[in-house]
A and B are shown apart, each in its own frame.
Chain A
Amino acid sequence: MQIASLTFVLIVLPVLLLIYYLIPDKARQGFLVLSCFLLYSWGNPVRVLYPSAFLCYDYGTGLLLDKVRKNRIASIGIVCFSVLIQIVAMSYIRNTAQENEFFPFGIAIYTLQGLGYLIGVFRKHHAPAVNFITLALYLLFFPSLFAGGLFSYTEFSKQNKNKNLNIISLSDGLSLFIRGLAEKVVLADTFGYIFRELQQIAPENMSMLTAWLMTIIFSMYLYFELLGYSEMARGLGRCFGYELPKNFSHPFFTPSMTAFMKSYNITLVLWFETNFRRLLFRKYSDKYIYYTGFVLTWVFIGAWYGIRLKFILWGFLIGAVLLNEKLFLEKIIKKQYIAGIVYTALLSQFLWVLFFSNNLTEAAAYWKVMFGFGNSILDQTGIYFLVSYIALILSGFYIATDQFRNITERLSVSDFGQKIMNFMPLFHGILLIFCLASMLYGDQYERLWLWM
Chain B
Amino acid sequence: MKKISKKNRMAYATIAIIFAVYLTVMIGTIRIFNHEESVILNSQFPENSEEYLRQNLGFHDVLFQLKSRSDLIIGEKMIQGVYITDERLIEKQFSYEESNADPVNAFYQEYVIPTYLILVPSASEIYESTLPANALNTNQAKLIKAVYADTETGIRCVDAYHILSSLKDSYIYYRTDSHWTSYGAYYVYQSAIQKMGFTPVSYQNYVISHLSTDFRGDLYQKTLYDTVRSDVLDWYTYEKGSKITDVQVIFQDGTVRRRSDIYDKSALESENMYQFYTGEPCQKMIIKTDLDNDKKLLLYKDDYADCMIPFLVQHYSEICVINLEQTGCNFQSVTDPSEYTQAMFLCSVRNWQDIFQ
Residues of A within 8 A of B (CB): 2, 5-7, 10-11, 14, 42-43, 167-168, 170-172, 174-175, 178, 190, 197, 200-202, 205, 380-381, 383-384, 387-392, 395, 422, 424-426, 428-429, 432-434, 436-442, 444
Please state if B57 and A429 are interface contacts (CB–CB under 8 Å): no
Among residues of A, the one whose C-beta sits closest to the C-beta of B15 is A171
Among residues of A, the one whose C-beta sits closest to the C-beta of B17 is A429
- Within the complex, the shortest CB–CB distance from B51 to chain A, in Å, comes to 8
CB-CB under 8 A for A167 and B15, given A202-B96, A388-B75: yes
Please state if A441 and B80 are interface contacts (CB–CB under 8 Å): yes
B205-263 interface with A by 8 A CB criterion: none
Please state if B10 and A436 are interface contacts (CB–CB under 8 Å): no
17 A-B pairs (CB sep. < 8 Å): A6-B49, A7-B53, A167-B8, A171-B11, A171-B14, A197-B136, A384-B133, A384-B135, A384-B136, A389-B75, A425-B18, A429-B20, A432-B21, A433-B63, A434-B66, A437-B63, A444-B80
Please state if B12 and A167 are interface contacts (CB–CB under 8 Å): yes
Please state if B57 and A436 are interface contacts (CB–CB under 8 Å): yes
Please state if A387 and B75 are interface contacts (CB–CB under 8 Å): yes
Among residues of A, the one whose C-beta sits closest to the C-beta of B132 is A384
Which chain B residues border A391 with CB–CB below 8 Å? 74-75
- Within the complex, the shortest CB–CB distance from B9 to chain A, in Å, comes to 9
Please state if B50 and A392 are interface contacts (CB–CB under 8 Å): no
- Within the complex, the shortest CB–CB distance from A121 to chain B, in Å, comes to 36
Which chain A residues border B50 with CB–CB below 8 Å? 2, 5-7
Which chain A residues border B53 with CB–CB below 8 Å? 6-7, 10-11
Please state if B57 and A440 are interface contacts (CB–CB under 8 Å): yes
Please state if B10 and A171 are interface contacts (CB–CB under 8 Å): yes
- Within the complex, the shortest CB–CB distance from A411 to chain B, in Å, comes to 14
Please state if A436 and B25 are interface contacts (CB–CB under 8 Å): yes
Please state if A428 and B49 are interface contacts (CB–CB under 8 Å): no
Which chain B residues border A387 with CB–CB below 8 Å? 75, 133-134
Confirm or deny: B127 has a beta carbon within 8 angstroms of a beta carbon on chain A.
no
B166-183 interface with A by 8 A CB criterion: none
- Number of A-B residue pairs, CB cutoff 8 Å, is 126
Please state if A14 and B12 are interface contacts (CB–CB under 8 Å): no
CB-CB under 8 A for A388 and B14, given A437-B67, A440-B64, A440-B67: no
- Within the complex, the shortest CB–CB distance from A180 to chain B, in Å, comes to 14
State the 7 A-B residue pairs at the shortest beta-carbon distance, nearest first: A384-B134, A380-B134, A171-B11, A429-B17, A437-B67, A437-B63, A425-B13
Confirm or deny: B26 has a beta carbon within 8 angstroms of a beta carbon on chain A.
yes
Contact of B8 among A7, A168, A197, A437 (CB under 8 A): A168
Confirm or deny: B47 has a beta carbon within 8 angstroms of a beta carbon on chain A.
yes
Please state if A6 and B21 are interface contacts (CB–CB under 8 Å): no
Among residues of B, the one whose C-beta sits closest to the C-beta of A8 is B50
Confirm or deny: B54 has a beta carbon within 8 angstroms of a beta carbon on chain A.
yes
Confirm or deny: B95 has a beta carbon within 8 angstroms of a beta carbon on chain A.
yes
Give A11 to B40 CA distance when docked, in angstroms: 12
Give A171 to B8 CA distance when docked, in angstroms: 9
Confirm or deny: B111 has a beta carbon within 8 angstroms of a beta carbon on chain A.
no
Give A190 to B74 CA distance when docked, in angstroms: 12
Contact indicator per residue, chain B 26-41, by CB within 8 Å of chain A (1) or not (0): 1001000000000000
CB-CB under 8 A for A10 and B26, given A5-B50, A42-B46, A425-B17: yes
Give A436 to B80 CA distance when docked, in angstroms: 16
Which chain B residues border A201 with CB–CB below 8 Å? 96, 136
Which chain A residues border B75 with CB–CB below 8 Å? 387-392
Among residues of A, the one whose C-beta sits closest to the C-beta of B77 is A388
Extra inter-chain contacts (11) besides given A6-B49, A10-B22, A437-B67, CB under 8 Å: A6-B57, A43-B46, A175-B14, A384-B135, A392-B74, A424-B14, A425-B17, A429-B17, A433-B21, A440-B63, A441-B67
- Within the complex, the shortest CB–CB distance from B193 to chain A, in Å, comes to 38
Give A71 to B17 CA distance when docked, in angstroms: 59
Please state if B14 and A174 are interface contacts (CB–CB under 8 Å): yes
CB-CB under 8 A for A7 and B49, given A424-B14, A436-B57: yes
Among residues of B, the one whose C-beta sits closest to the C-beta of A382 is B134
Among residues of A, the one whose C-beta sits closest to the C-beta of B81 is A444
Give A174 to B132 CA distance when docked, in angstroms: 40
CB-CB under 8 A for A171 and B12, given A388-B75, A428-B17: yes
Which chain B residues border A428 with CB–CB below 8 Å? 14, 17-18
Contact of A167 among B11, B18, B49, B76 (CB under 8 A): B11
Among residues of B, the one whose C-beta sits closest to the C-beta of A205 is B96
Interface centre among A197, A200, A383, A436 (most CB of B within 10 A): A436
Contact of B66 among A42, A170, A381, A433 (CB under 8 A): A433
Give A439 to B134 CA distance when docked, in angstroms: 29
Which chain A residues border B136 with CB–CB below 8 Å? 197, 200-201, 381, 384
Which chain B residues border A425 with CB–CB below 8 Å? 10, 13-14, 16-18
Contact of A170 among B7, B15, B25, B70 (CB under 8 A): B15
Give A201 to B180 CA distance when docked, in angstroms: 28
Please state if A174 and B15 are interface contacts (CB–CB under 8 Å): yes
Confirm or deny: B203 has a beta carbon within 8 angstroms of a beta carbon on chain A.
no
- Within the complex, the shortest CB–CB distance from A428 to chain B, in Å, comes to 6
Confirm or deny: B60 has a beta carbon within 8 angstroms of a beta carbon on chain A.
yes
Which chain A residues border B132 with CB–CB below 8 Å? 384, 388
Give A249 to B67 CA distance when docked, in angstroms: 28
Contact indicator per residue, chain B 121-136, by CB within 8 Å of chain A (1) or not (0): 0000000000011111
- Within the complex, the shortest CB–CB distance from A210 to chain B, in Å, comes to 11
- Within the complex, the shortest CB–CB distance from A239 to chain B, in Å, comes to 11
Confirm or deny: B356 has a beta carbon within 8 angstroms of a beta carbon on chain A.
no
Among residues of B, the one whose C-beta sits closest to the C-beta of A45 is B46
Which chain B residues border A422 with CB–CB below 8 Å? 10
CB-CB under 8 A for A429 and B18, given A43-B47, A391-B74: yes
Which chain B residues border A178 with CB–CB below 8 Å? 18
Which chain A residues border B7 with CB–CB below 8 Å? 168
- Within the complex, the shortest CB–CB distance from A254 to chain B, in Å, comes to 27
Which chain B residues border A2 with CB–CB below 8 Å? 50
- Within the complex, the shortest CB–CB distance from A445 to chain B, in Å, comes to 11
Which chain A residues border B76 with CB–CB below 8 Å? 388-389, 392
Which chain B residues border A432 with CB–CB below 8 Å? 18, 21-22
Give A434 to B49 CA distance when docked, in angstroms: 20
B62-120 interface with A by 8 A CB criterion: 63-64, 66-67, 70-71, 74-77, 80, 94-96
Please state if B11 and A170 are interface contacts (CB–CB under 8 Å): yes
Among residues of A, the one whose C-beta sits closest to the C-beta of B73 is A391
Give A294 to B287 CA distance when docked, in angstroms: 75
Please state if A11 and B49 are interface contacts (CB–CB under 8 Å): yes
Among residues of B, the one whose C-beta sits closest to the C-beta of A7 is B49
Please state if B10 and A381 are interface contacts (CB–CB under 8 Å): no
Which chain A residues border B80 with CB–CB below 8 Å? 441, 444
Which chain B residues border A6 with CB–CB below 8 Å? 49-50, 53-54, 57
Give A205 to B94 CA distance when docked, in angstroms: 13
- Within the complex, the shortest CB–CB distance from B25 to chain A, in Å, comes to 6
Which chain B residues border A437 with CB–CB below 8 Å? 63-64, 66-67
Give A422 to B10 CA distance when docked, in angstroms: 7
Which chain A residues border B60 with CB–CB below 8 Å? 440
Which chain B residues border A441 with CB–CB below 8 Å? 64, 67, 80
Which chain A residues border B47 with CB–CB below 8 Å? 43
Among residues of B, the one whose C-beta sits closest to the C-beta of A384 is B134
Give A387 to B282 CA distance when docked, in angstroms: 43
Please state if A439 and B54 are interface contacts (CB–CB under 8 Å): yes
Give A390 to B77 CA distance when docked, in angstroms: 12
